[in-house]
Amino acid sequence: MVDLGAYDESRPLDMHDLQFDLAAEKLGLEPWIAEKIKRPRRELTVRFPLRFDDGRIQLMEGHRVQHNTLRGPGKGGIRYHPRVDLDEVRALAGWMTWKCAVVDIPFGGAKGGVACDPTTMSAAERERLTRRYIWEISPLIGPEQDIPAPDVNTGPETMGWIVDTYSVFKGYTCNSVVTGKPLCIGGSLGRLKATSRGCIYVLEEAARHLGLELAGCRAVVQGFGNVGYHAAELLHEAGVKVVGLSNVQGALYNPAGIAPRAAKQHELSTGDLPSYAEAERLTNQELLELPCEVLIPAALEGQITRANAGRIKARIIVEGANGPTSPPADDILKDKGIFVVPDILANAGGVTVSYFEWVQNLQKLFWTEDDVNRRLREILTRAFAEVMAIAQRERTTMRTAAYMLAIERVAEAKRVRGIFP
């Protein structure tokens, strides 16, 4: 049995391993398969000097981890954040493997990251960082090998530099090497909002399951980046009252509702979200404990822990972020009857539309946004139903059920592929 008592909640890799163990134990996997698919296939750490605009030169460290490639090329974003280290990238890469398997798209899992604070860097510095990092990890990446994408603090702009850098070395334009690109170089319609849209689709399924009418519900969204902002905006459009939101600087609360677009405009024009006048100022921790029906953590890992899970009041949690809830917190939420749609299902909309983007690039044939959204809903609705069926059959949480589904798919791929040589 897995012991949660002494478990350290501050380490994403421990969280990944424990979530894996809880499900693998129920599946009764062959021990060698469990061991093989829990750990990364390969890892690359790179170090390189970066010249800042003021002439200063600093040694940077980055990583690319291919957790698994049994079901297809490695797939997963690139993160720029001061907290990035090899263990975090390992956890994030593992979560990508399970995410792609839950929604049954033909990818494995990978992740990359560079330890840096891009919010203090100029565009030119970020571009030099990106080009050099991509050059350093170029032995691993490629359209059939490992396909990066945006993650925390990276976006279409970064993906454009990646296409260019990779293409220069190849000698021809190769846009299928990354997803989440700008539209004019082969990006997909619907990709920018895909993670958030996916959160809304699974939220609708969860609400239907609980018999909850979403219109008029109160929602709290933690994080105001690509995922959090668009989730808030889509909720607002759907008639859900967004009573709380936040960025790294702090949180906002207004029981009468906050218009996400106006708050975004304020953040962009002043650089200071918490000074938005139409709401009360709170801390990020207070935000998570607000009275609401829907909570979407869309920031970083380790936000809901044994320290605050008991005070969470939401009925449904939809994990827009990767790894926001620790295993001990999961147990507390389960006892409180809070319905959690786990990250590997809830935020899989992003990588699902990344898959669509890659398919469109390979076919050189592009789809309408309606087509993208319709296919996305189809995939997520099916995955939600499959996970729910396992959760009910096994009398377990949606998280463990999602892991069971994903792990079994990856394990089966290993069984039928066998061992080389």
Interacting residue ranges for ligand GLU, rule: CB under 6 A: 75-77, 99, 149-151, 179-180, 322, 347, 350-351, 354
Q: In angstroms, give the least distance from the CB of 218 to ligand GLU.
A: 27
**d(Cα 45, Cα 51) in Å, to the nearest integer?**
20
Instruction: Compare residues 180 and 327 and give the one whose CB is closer to ligand GLU.
Output: 180
What is the CB neighbour count within 10 angstroms for residue 154? 26
Supply the DSSP string of 309-321, one letter for each residue: GGG---SEEE--S
| In the complex, minimum distance from the CB of residue 345 to ligand GLU, in angstroms, rounded to a whole number | 11
Measured between alpha carbons, how far is 237 from 406 in angstroms, rounded to an integer? 32
Please indicate whether residue 414 is annotated as part of the active site. Answer: no
What tokens were used for 14? 């421990």
Q: Which is nearer to ligand GLU, 19 or 347 (CB)?
A: 347
Determine the length of the chain.
421
Catalytic residue of the set 38, 75, 99, 111: 111
Residue nearest to ligand GLU (CB): 77
Q: At what angle do helices 369-394 and 398-417 cross, to 10 degrees?
A: 100
To the nearest whole angstrom, how small is the minimum distance from the Cβ of residue 28 to ligand GLU?
A: 29
- Which residue, 107 or 339, has its beta carbon nearer to ligand GLU? 107
Which tokens in the block code for residue 380?
């997520």
CA 303-247-119 angle, 5° bins: 110
Q: Which residues pair with residue 358 across a beta bridge?
A: none
Backbone φ, ψ for residue 349 (5° rounding) = -60, -35
Enter the DSSP assignment of 176. Answer: G
Q: Which is nearer to ligand GLU, 244 or 324 (CB)?
A: 324
Instruction: Please check whether residue 348 is in contact with residue 198, taking contact to mean a CB–CB distance below 8 angstroms.
Output: yes
CB of 228 to ligand GLU, least distance (A): 13
Helix (H) or strand (E) holding 61: strand 57-68
Peptide bond into 106 cis (omega under 30): no
In the complex, minimum distance from the CB of residue 191 to ligand GLU, in angstroms, rounded to a whole number: 8
Which residue's CB is nearer to ligand GLU, number 75 or number 126?
A: 75
CA 95 to chain centre: 8
Select 159 or 390, whichever has its Cβ closest to ligand GLU. Answer: 159
Q: In the structure encoding, which two tokens stand for residue 279, read together? A: 């709401």
- We find the least distance from the C-beta atom of residue 74 to ligand GLU, in angstroms, to be 9
What is the residue whose two structure tokens read 């494995």?
A: 108
What's the CA gap between 146 and 44, in Å, rounded? 13
Query: Mind telling me the catalytic residues?
Result: 111
